[in-house]
Amino acid sequence: MISGFWEKLNKPIMALAPMANVTDAAFRFVIAKYGKPDVMWTEFVSADGLNSAGREALLLDLKFDESERPIVAQFFGATPEHFYRVALLVQELGLNGIDINMGCPDRAVLKQGAGAALLEEPELAKKIISETKRGAGSLPVSVKTRLGLKKNILKSWLPHLLEMDLAAITVHGRTAKELSLVPADWKAIGEAVVMRDRYEASSTSRTLILGNGDVKNLADAGTKAKEYGLDGVMVGRGIFGNPWFFADLSRVKRGGQIEHPDGARAEEGLTNTRGKLKVMLEHTRIFEKMFGERKNFDVMKKHYKVYVNGFPGAKELRMELMGAKDADEVEKILKRRDF
C-alpha cells in the first residue's frame, strides 16, 4: 500500500541508498544542499542494539536535519519484537518512514540471522514486517532486499513481501554471495515489476518497486527506470565524491536530456578539482560540528578516497589527508598544496 510521503513523490522516484559509515547525517546534509534526491535513507541501525544497553550510542545514527526530509530509518535484525519497539522509536523521533534491511551480505549480519539471511526465512521475515507495521502507526514501512542469498530466488521470495502490503520494495540486482563482484542484474529487477503487476491484478495492494545496483549517473538512473518499468531507482556507490549527483533531478522527471552526467553543478564549475575539494572541506567541518568526538574522525577518510581522485597529485594528497586529525588540519593541507 502506497502511503505517507511515498504517494506524494513524482516518478521516477530517486533515492539515496543506506550505506554503513557513509550516509550519516553530515553526508546527507551535504547531499541535501548540492543535489537533493526525492528520499534519503539513514545508515542501517541494529534493532537489537537499540533494545540494549548500547541504545544511546546508536541513536546518533538516527540523527537527521529537516533539510533531508523525507528521511527513512533503516534497521537490521532478526527479533520481531525489537522491530516493534524501534518502530515506536521512529515515530517518537519524527522520521518519515521505516525500512527493513533484508539484503545485507556482511558476514557478521548474516550470523545474526539478519540482512540477506532472512531471504531463507520467509515466515520470520513476514513476522518482522508485521511487528514493524504494528509499531509504525501511520508511517510507511518498506524493505530493501536482494535477488537471493546464494542464488536468485526472487520468484519465490518476492510474493512473500508483496503479501505484506509494503509501501515500497527496493531490489538490489545481485545475490548476497555475489556481493558487488558481478554486474547488477537489471533484467531480474525488471522481473520484480512484472511479478508485482501480476500480484496486484488479484489484490488491492499497491507496492512501489525501486531498483538498485551499478547506477553510473542520474541519466543512467532515468534510463533504467524507464526501460524496466520501475517506480524509482536507489543510488549507492555512484554518489561517492559527487554530492551534486541528483542536481538535475527535475530535468529527469520531465524526460529531458542531461548534458552533464555529473549533474547541473558541472555547469557551475563545482565538479572541477578545486570545487570538489571545497565541498570536501565543507563536508569535513559539518561532520566535526555534528559529531565532535562522538564519532571517529577516520570515518571521514573513506570520503577523502573518492573526493581526491582523477587529477595530478591526487595520490599524494590522499596519503597526506589520511593522517589528518581534524578539519583545521585538512584545511592546512589543502592550502599548503595550493588548493
CATH number of the domain that 49 lies in? 3.20.20.70
Q: Note the pLDDT of residue 92.
A: 97
Residues 99, 138 within the same domain: yes
Tell me if 280 sits within 8 A of 259, measured CB to CB.
Answer: no
Going by the DSSP 8-state scheme, the letter that residue 179 receives in this structure is T
Question: Of 237, 260, 283, which residue constitutes the final position of a domain?
Answer: 260
Residues 314, 192 within the same domain: no
Neighbours of 254 (CB within 10 A): 8
* Whole-structure pTM value: 0.93
d(CA 244, CA 227) in angstroms, rounded, equals 24
Going by the DSSP 8-state scheme, the letter that residue 112 receives in this structure is T
Does a structural domain hold residue 267? no
Q: Return mean pLDDT, the chain.
A: 92
Does a structural domain hold residue 307? yes
Domain range for 325 is 273-336
Tell me if 173 sits within 8 A of 139, measured CB to CB.
Answer: no
Q: pLDDT category, 58, cuts 50, 70, 90?
A: very high
Residue with cell string 549533474 = 263
C-alpha cell at 87: 518502530
Q: pLDDT category, 258, cuts 50, 70, 90?
A: low
User: Looking at 104, 118, 171, 249, which residue is catalytic?
Assistant: 104
Residues 142, 283 within the same domain: no
Question: Of 203, 231, 260, which residue constitutes the final position of a domain?
Answer: 260
Q: What percent of the chain has pLDDT over 70?
A: 93
Can you state the angle between helices 273-291 and 25-34, rounded to 10 degrees? 140
- Is 104 assigned a catalytic role? yes
- Highest-confidence segment of 70-79, 297-306, 310-319: 70-79
pLDDT at 259 over 70: no
Q: pLDDT category, 332, cuts 50, 70, 90?
A: very high
Beta-strand pair 97-102/141-148: parallel
- Consecutive H or E run containing 143: strand 141-148
pLDDT tens string 107-161 = 999 999 999 999 999 999 999 999 999 999 999 999 999 999 999 999 999 999 9
Q: What percent of the chain has pLDDT over 90?
A: 81
